[in-house]
Amino acid sequence: QVQLVDSGGGVVQPGGSLRLSCAASGFSFSSYGMYWVRQAPGKGLEWVAFVGSTESYTQYADSVKGRFTISRDNSKNTLYLQMNSLKSDDTAVYFCAKPRGGGAPQPFDSWGQGSLVTVSS
């Protein structure tokens, strides 16, 4: 069965950096574009970033563009999110998410358990 395991969260000071990872198994990882979605404490869901199956195509929310970089290693079945210049507004649980199909953006049918990122001095 599909499994997504998020890791790498923690407490970081404003302006700092952090890299999240998502280890995927149970499906053909290299065939799917992948996503990061975040949820601030007590708030709703916010899409963060997308990377195509071969990493040649990426999309970012305006709120993170220029600061976050999504990438993947298909040989390791792992998705990454490099977060730089972190702000307090970036405090959230970050989920990796798998779409239900390939091609155009698809709804998310599997989610990682989430990694909590806290930006605080």
Contact positions vs other proteins (CB under 8 A): 35, 44-47, 50, 59, 61-62, 95, 100, 104-109, 111-114
- Is the Cβ of residue 43 or residue 75 nearer to other proteins in the bound state? 43
In whole angstroms, the minimum distance from the beta carbon of 61 to other proteins comes to 5
- Is the Cβ of residue 75 or residue 103 nearer to other proteins in the bound state? 103
In whole angstroms, the minimum distance from the beta carbon of 75 to other proteins comes to 27
108-111/115-119 β-pairing: unpaired
In whole angstroms, the minimum distance from the beta carbon of 15 to other proteins comes to 25
Phi then psi dihedrals of residue 47, to 5 deg: -70, 140
- Is the Cβ of residue 89 or residue 109 nearer to other proteins in the bound state? 109
The token pair at 29 is 């990882």
In whole angstroms, the minimum distance from the beta carbon of 120 to other proteins comes to 22
- Is the Cβ of residue 74 or residue 106 nearer to other proteins in the bound state? 106
